[in-house]
Chain A
Amino acid sequence: MGDKRLDQKLPPRRRAWDLTLRLLICACAAVTALLVAALIAYILLRGLPGVTWQLISSQESYLNNTIGILPSILNTLYIIVAALVIVLPLGVGAAVYLTEYASSRRLVRVIEFTTETLAGIPSIIYGLVGMMFFCQLLRLKTSLLAGALTLVIMILPTIVRTTQESLKTVPESYREGALGLGATKWYMIRTIILPSSIDGIVTGCILAIGRIVGESAALLFTAGLGLKLLGNFFEAMGGSGATLSVALYIYAMERGKFEVAFAVAAVLMLIVLVINFAAKVLGKRLKNKL
């Protein structure tokens, strides 16, 4: 018979060890949170004072000696739209094929492995390949379109994988239910599977937008460094222009204008926040509509 008393405390050494580990783990969480918060605060504090209406509503003018980043803001949005419009059907389609249609497990594993590998390739390599293939071979020159296409290849794995994971979480019983009523496979996918996995697709989009917005290396080679207004969406696709990240690089590294670079960084962060928020709301709306 062991000791059945319940009011005995743990031995002091174990208690101390327990407490230490707990503190360490709390410290890890705190350091992480602090780092993020400090980074955001630093950028906003240094950047926001430089964000004037003139900066975000005009383009650079040598005559007036003013700096404006409207072209880069537009280029960023254009590239996001162009890349998503192409990558979404492609990536979601591929994911649907892999999870719902593909019958060879081997093939699926091979494709999954390649997409994962694709996701791990440094972006500058995508830039190089994009320049060779889109800009030169396909004669798109250095243009937003070439940049967007390069990004499509770069973020395709993210979209495919997140969509796939989300399709896999749709319960098998939904599929049985729909097919049991006489639904064809595509009808089932369109009415049950895709709407149920909209969350994952939105998450994929947010990750993709994050990568697009943050990308500089791949775009330096393919979309170029232009800081002039390119006109409407379709005109802009054919022109060379810098996105905000690339503009940030230009201002910081080539011109040494750090206050402008920080202002660009602040704008960039705000845009990412707004887009992510909007995507979440949109995803929720779509889900509720089901």
Chain B
Amino acid sequence: MENIITSQDLKLYYGNFEALKGITVELAEREITALIGPSGCGKSTFLKTLNRMNDLVPGVRVEGQVLYHGQDIFAPEVDVTQLRKNVGMVFQKPNPFPMSIYDNIAYGPRLHGTHSKAELNDLVERSLRGASLWEEVRDRLKKSALGLSGGQQQRLCIARALAVQPDVLLMDEPTSALDPASTIRIEELMAELKKNYTVVIVTHNMQQAARISDKCAFFLLGEMVEIGPTEQIFSMPRDKRTEDYITGRFG
């Protein structure tokens, strides 16, 4: 499988604080990679670096490289809007815009220049189907997205991200604000998404990581301790620290 994103000795500083201490990792196409580790270990920071959402934080400085299809995403000629179009993001708390379901999904395509009604209709339906939300909302597309349940809102946000046709989806604890039933639906959805997209997910839930991911990366204090096939990480981690974390000795 081809590597879609590669980070090479990626270091990130908030002011003088070194939040990422040289992360080298390869993310293969059409796989789910779970980033695990205790709070403050840098996994979310790393995730947000992959589509440069960290640019928004004042005082952030990055060293090293992140390659997307071989292109350095920090290169001066890179258009960050194009990067984010290709590397989409789903956030911890569902954040639908205060507009209709339809307009939420159409937001991205419109932003990137799609205005034809037929094309938008098609994209909206495909994206909602892709996020397995279509059947639930097909007859109320013009209603406000804020009226949906939390789980539906999160799937809407996934659909919204799909609508701009990315090939990578970054998910920052996408189910931590949801109830168990909604969580299961999202997990099932991720298994579907894997067929067409590369997914990177940050999760605090060990069972979730074990259930859904192909690879697992363990972060600790700004370092990536270990990455490997999920099964191996959970059954025979190479590093003592990984084992301690997974068996619940700290966290």
Q: Report which A residues bind B (CB closer than 8 A).
A: 103, 171, 173-184, 187, 191-192, 195-196, 290
B97 touches A180 (CB 8 A): no
Residues in A with CB closer than 8 Å to B96 are 177
A192 interface neighbour in B58, B81, B89, B97, Cβ under 8 Å: B97
Question: Can you sample 20 A-B contacts with CB below 8 Å?
Answer: A171-B95, A173-B91, A173-B93, A175-B56, A176-B53, A176-B95, A177-B97, A178-B97, A178-B107, A180-B89, A181-B85, A181-B108, A181-B111, A181-B160, A182-B82, A182-B108, A192-B97, A195-B98, A196-B98, A290-B98
Shortest A62–chain B CB gap in Å is: 58
Rounded to whole angstroms, the CA-CA distance of A177 and B107 in the bound complex is 10
Cα of A183 to Cα of B83 in the assembled complex, Å: 11
- Known A181-B164, A182-B85; contact A176-B91, beta-carbon cutoff 8 A: yes
Docked CA distance A194–B6 (Å): 38
A181 touches B107 (CB 8 A): yes
What's the interface size class on B, roughly? 20 to 34
User: Could you tell me which B residues sit within 8 Å of A by CB distance?
Assistant: 51, 53, 56, 58, 80-85, 88-89, 91, 93, 95-99, 107-108, 111-112, 157, 160-161, 164
Q: B residues within 8 A CB of A180? A: 51, 53, 84, 88-89, 91, 161
The number of A-B residue pairs with CB atoms under 8 Å apart is 62
Residues of B close to A183: CB separation below 8 A: 81, 111
Q: Which residue of B lies closest to A176 (CB)?
A: B91
Contacts of B157 in A (CB 8 A): 177
Task: Take A171-B95, A173-B93, A176-B95 as given contacts and tell me if A182 and B56 are in contact as well, using a CB distance cutoff of 8 Å.
Answer: no
Q: Which residue of B lies closest to A290 (CB)?
A: B99
Distance in Å: Cβ of A103 to nearest Cβ of chain B: 7
Cβ-closest chain B residue relative to A191: B107
B95 with A181: CB separation less than 8 A: no
Contact A174 B97 (CB under 8 A): yes
A290 contacts across to B, CB distance below 8 A: 98-99
Chain A proximity of B127: nearest CB distance (Å): 12
Complex: how many Å from CA A196 to CA B96? 13
The 9 A-B pairs at the shortest CB distance, nearest first, are namely A173-B95, A182-B84, A182-B81, A180-B89, A182-B85, A181-B108, A177-B95, A290-B99, A183-B111
Given the interface pairs A177-B91, A179-B56, the reply to whether A184 lies near B98 with Cβ below 8 Å is no
* Chain A binding surface SS class: helix
Q: Let me know if B93 and A179 touch, CB within 8 A.
A: no
Q: Which residues of A contact B80 (CB under 8 A)?
A: 182
Q: Is the CB of A181 within 8 A of B84?
A: yes
B76 to chain A, nearest CB (A): 17
A179 and B53 contacting across the interface, CB-CB below 8 Å: yes
**Cα–Cα, bound, A186→B84 (Å):** 16
CB-based contact A182/B111 at 8 Å: yes
- Chain B residue contacts of A191, Cβ below 8 A: 107, 111
20 other A-B residue contacts (CB within 8 Å) besides A177-B97, A181-B161, A187-B111: A103-B58, A173-B91, A176-B89, A176-B91, A176-B95, A177-B91, A177-B96, A177-B160, A179-B56, A179-B84, A180-B91, A180-B161, A181-B107, A181-B108, A182-B80, A182-B111, A182-B164, A191-B107, A195-B98, A290-B99
Contacts of B95 in A (CB 8 A): 171, 173-174, 176-177
Q: When chains A and B are docked, how far (Å) is the Cα of A151 from the Cα of B107?
A: 39
Complex CA–CA separation, A212 to B56 (angstroms):
40
Return A283 CB to nearest CB of chain B, in Å. 14
In the bound complex, what is the Cα–Cα distance between A179 and B82 (angstroms)? 11
Q: How far is the CA of A195 from the CA of B91 in the complex (A)?
A: 22
What CA separation (Å) do A184 and B85 show in the bound complex? 11
CB neighbours of A196 from chain B (8 A): 98
Q: A177-B91, A177-B97, A196-B98 are in contact. Are A182 and B53 (CB under 8 A)?
A: no
Interface centre among B80, B88, B111 (most CB of A within 10 A): B111
Q: Which residues of chain B come closer than 8 Å to A171, judged between CB atoms? A: 95
Tell me the smallest distance from the CB of B21 to a CB of chain A, in Å.
25
CA distance A180 to B91 in the complex (A): 9
Cα separation A181 to B108 with both chains bound (whole Å): 6
Which residues on the A side are within 8 Å of B53 (C-beta)? 176, 179-180
Provide the bound-state CA to CA distance between A178 and B97, in Å: 9
Whether B98 pairs with A181 at a CB distance below 8 angstroms is no
Q: How far is the CB of A285 from chain B (nearest CB, A)?
A: 15
Task: Give the nearest-CB partner of A184 in chain B.
Answer: B81
| B89 contact set on A, CB distance < 8 A | 176, 180
- A153, B220: Cα distance in complex, Å: 55
Residues of the A chain whose Cβ atoms lie less than 8 Å from the Cβ of B160: 177, 181
Considering the chains assembled together, what is the distance between the CA atoms of A192 and B103 in angstroms?
Answer: 11
Please, how many angstroms separate the alpha-carbon atoms of A103 and B80 in the complex?
A: 20
